[in-house]
Chains A and B, each alone.
Chain A
Amino acid sequence: MQNVIAFIEHKKGTPRRVALEAATYAKTLADQLGGKAHAVVTGAGAPALAELLKKYPVDEIHVLDEDRFLDGAVDALEAVAKAAGPSLVLVGNTVIGRDVASRFAARFDCGITADVTDFTVAGGVVGCVSPKLGGLVITTCQLTGSDYGVAVIRPNVFAAKETPGAGTLVSIPSSGKASSITVEDEVEEAAAELGVEEASVVVSGGRGMGGPEPFGTILKGLADAFGGAVGASRAAVDAGWIPHGHQVGQTGKTVSPQLYIAVGISGAIQHKVGMRTSETIIAINKDAGAPISEFADLLVVGDAFAIVPELTNLVKDAKAAHA
């Protein structure tokens, strides 16, 4: 495969950050493979977003101006992939991304690698590097079984960079088909919040929080000071203190932020596998012997309820001084 196609996920024209990461890295990979980088954008707001994509280094920007849930995106990728010839498709590891990626791979009978954090390219063969078993092993899978392949990339790992490139706009004709799925409504419950998977700073709380309240107050305050997201351990989610979308761990999300702050979390294996690939880990805990002491870069032993508000003020001051 020579060409690389980035699927651009967006909400009414505002792109997910991972979509811009895919668009940027598509060009890097296409250059190594000797092919072209394509971006595919569909749905409400697609034409405006296509203009914005000219700031990113893709060669061609394909637009399907049609709002057809899931099927529209997969059909558009199919049309572009067939026209481009052998291609690697890059899709962000998100709720929509997994649907689009999996349906494309099944339709094209090609290989798919989930949660990709790096690539190798040698002799025109693409290898997808991906941590498995919660980061216990790092696997490399080569997409050799087909002319096409799909890599579902982990958000926050590849850099999104604006580069003057001005890709050519190409319009994809509508298929006129009806969607097999009817969207009856869409409700935003936490519109302003960044998901734990995409945030570069995650502040998580565990059993030590003692109840739901700190998640919306002191932990949220610290996360907001960093422009980050609030996460949680399984204990906190199972206790009903915070919705499961925030859960980090084996039965929740796997995250790799630049900074992970674990507050009142013991660091049991179930939690560790969801966050051990974070760049820097800071823990605040009452217990110096908690398992998290074995892998945190810094463990502060003390009262989280006293430390976190003070820390939030200091972080805000430091950020303001730099602004």
Chain B
Amino acid sequence: MCPEVCALKILVTVKLVPDTNADKRIDPATKRLVRTGVETVLNPFDEYAIEAALQLKEKLNDGSTVTVVSMTPASGKEIVRKALAMGADDAVMLSDDALAGSDLWGTAIALSAAIKQQSADLILTGTQSTDASSGDLPGMLAEKLGLPGLTNARSLEVADGRVKVQRETETGYMTLSAALPALVSVTKSANEPRYPSLKGIMGAKKKEIKQLAAADLALTVAVGTDGAKAKLVDLATPPVRGKGKVVTVADGAEGAKVIVDFLKERKFL
């Protein structure tokens, strides 16, 4: 199938998110996330996509490369560096105040434009982010790029110009395949992401991070807050769940009875 060179250009999208272990709070006055004391991290779901890209590159061992792409504020450089330290070859950062406040549609428009410039053979993404958690961006990117989107993959392999995945469904899996170029979103069960080695961290400092601004994308539509198709009009904090009843029981029978009485009280039984 391959003529002389069949090395793949693999692209991985990554996002900056608030630390998943932090107990996040909303400032009631400003209705914004309290960022003081909340670390930002590489979206944990994206680590599986990076790992899948690195494993594929290592398996192919034919000069294939891994490029990380992130639409992020300038502070996102730390997560791009982490991906480079894990083993990605280079990175593209799309940072611009004009992109701030983009909804899913705006993000898909801007990020797909940046991806298009890279002429990649395979685009890998996480299945979702831990902050917005929509899980809708991979499909939107695939549609905007005009590519087959094989989402929720727990394994992937590339051969003869095609990508084949095992797609996790609610009750099992499907085996799907498509011709490259294609987009694949990678699930948590795909692999165990590696930690950056000291050598990797040192080496990452020398790797290229290409900076892109909105103007470099030649967009014909407005994105960011003003261009949003879904406009945030209200942000409310739900009532805090109070402490309930605590009952210490002596044995299984007593514990079961306490629960059944409670279930009857609440009309579950």
A-side residues, CB < 8 A to B, are 69-70, 93-96, 98-103, 105-107, 109-115, 127-128, 131-146, 149, 152, 180-191, 193, 195, 197-198, 243-245, 250-252, 254, 258-259, 269-270, 276-277, 280-282, 284, 288, 293-303, 305-311, 313-315, 318-319, 322
Contact = CB atoms under 8 A, between A and B. Distances in A.
Contacts of B260: 311, 314-315, 318
A145 B241 contact: no
A302 B251 contact: yes
Contacts of A313: 256
A189 B230 contact: no
A217 B103 CA distance: 44
Q: Would you list the 6 A-B pairs with minimal beta carbon distance, nearest first?
A: A306-B252, A102-B139, A145-B229, A114-B134, A111-B230, A111-B229
Chain B at the A interface: mostly helix, strand, loop or mixed?
Answer: mixed
A259 to B, nearest CB: 6
B33 interface: yes
A141 B233 contact: yes
B133 interface: yes
Interface of B: 18, 20-26, 33, 44-45, 103-105, 108, 130-144, 147-152, 164, 167-179, 187-189, 221, 227-238, 241-260, 262-264, 266, 268-269
B28 to A, nearest CB: 11
Contact of B134 (A70, A115, A193): A115
At the interface, is chain A mostly helix, strand, loop or mixed? Answer: mixed
B182 to A, nearest CB: 8
A307 B139 contact: no
A110 B229 contact: yes
Q: Which of A141, A197, A250, A299 has the most CB of B within 10 A?
A: A141
A187 to B, nearest CB: 5
A131 B238 CA distance: 9
Nearest to A131: B238
B131 A269 contact: no
Given A302-B249, A302-B252, A250 B105 contact: no
A3 B183 CA distance: 32
